[in-house]
Structure 1
């Protein structure tokens, strides 16, 4: 994990949802469609990050879904104010933070919540940003009883070739050109191997943009605004295609 997972911008706006407990998991919930659910798996800034909640509100309104942003950091979040203070990044003990929130620790929580939400909604999707990207792929693993009906991953972090090659539901990848986490090797592997799996695949490529743009993009930069809006619209259309 590198500084690309921390840099970015906070967006203006007031989230419209509420904080509730869902099957023992603290969540931000927005929207109220009992037929369609979407899990948004957060980036390094966690479930309270305003940008993540604003995106969740957008999916709830535009897809027509109940959207959940669960806390998968065990109640601990990095302050959103860090995004404006790069000088403070070096003081963070990110290796320890990530060890406490690694796949073995948080993966079972994500699966448990997805299993519960599967019983609550006729259709269920998931999208993961940065840290959450690998989790979306794990929820979309090939199975006789898939946990979700489709997934999307935006500039995923910690994603492995094994997770890519075992996806079993329709999958969308939002991939910026510049990304030390979702590397050129992983990009090539994904676009080569996923079409062999027999699942619908949508690869959205964003030349000139960097890791994190779709959730922490600069709204004062026209190129980033165009990219983050295109990424958001792409995810909306993907969920409409497979969930509605």
Structure 2
């Protein structure tokens, strides 16, 4: 299995109901109108404009009673969503060059600044990271002054030290087949999280693959059930730690 799974998936039909605005210096899709609780979403490589992630943000806003910000952390660069279904476009997209332009070192200051901005405005703030966004949420989780809880689905670019450093409640949404959240990293998470003293939750999705929670096929019952369960799990987690 390779990082090609980062570039494949299914675009969902549906309308989103939030609006575009800003969070600090970054553009953001904003859903919900809670004055007390916020959720910072760090998206995968398809970014803040992907319909799927905006639909999920609408669900989080409504079901977890929060204002949700899906932030552009890619400097306006948008991966063509047609790459999800067009093998030629997927092949022509250079994922490693993209990661190089948006490395941890480059993007972490923006992620931190956005969390700090939310902390000024809301009494409780959580973060949700899909794929690329996983490392960012885990780094936030090392600092309780930045965030109150984090969830991440099929996280990418994680290292073991980031798992060991968490100081706030953590939820991991883990598919069976994942080139990024490897068996080694899953095993490490299950070994170290109990030692951190934080509340933590590890939810396993048998038979599913990296990307399913935000790019799963809604016409495939197993994937649809999985992505809906992942959404419910995140909502329940946010409701527990935001209110």
**Could you say which residue in structure 1 is the equivalent of 2:122?**
121
SS at match of 1:64: coil
**Could you say which residue in structure 1 is the equivalent of 2:59?**
58
**CA deviation string 1:20-71 (max 9, x = no partner):** 1221111000100010000011001011000000000000000000000010
**Could you say which residue in structure 1 is the equivalent of 2:104?**
103
In 2, the alpha carbon distance for the partners of 1:136 and 1:66 equals: 17
Task: Report how far residue 94 of structure 1 moved.
Answer: 2.0
**Could you say which residue in structure 2 is the equivalent of 1:139?**
140
Aligned residues: 242
Stretches of structure 2 lacking an aligned partner (at least 5 in a row): none
In 2, the alpha carbon distance for the partners of 1:165 and 1:80 equals: 34
> Within 5 A, what are the aligned runs for 1:37-116?
37-116=38-117
SS at match of 1:72: coil
TM-score in terms of structure 1 length: 0.97
Would you identify which runs of 4 or more consecutive aligned residues in structure 1 move more than 6 Å?
Answer: none
TM-score in terms of structure 2 length: 0.98
In 2, the alpha carbon distance for the partners of 1:114 and 1:223 equals: 34
> Within 5 A, what are the aligned runs for 1:1-244?
2-141=3-142, 143=143, 145-244=144-243
Task: Report how far residue 97 of structure 1 moved.
Answer: 1.4
In 1, the alpha carbon distance for the partners of 2:216 and 2:36 equals: 31
Contact 2:130 2:154 in 1 (8 A): yes
SS at match of 1:99: helix
Task: Report how far residue 10 of structure 1 moved.
Answer: 0.6
Contact 1:73 1:101 in 2 (8 A): yes
Task: Report how far residue 105 of structure 1 moved.
Answer: 0.5
Task: Report how far residue 146 of structure 1 moved.
Answer: 2.5
In 1, the alpha carbon distance for the partners of 2:99 and 2:231 equals: 27
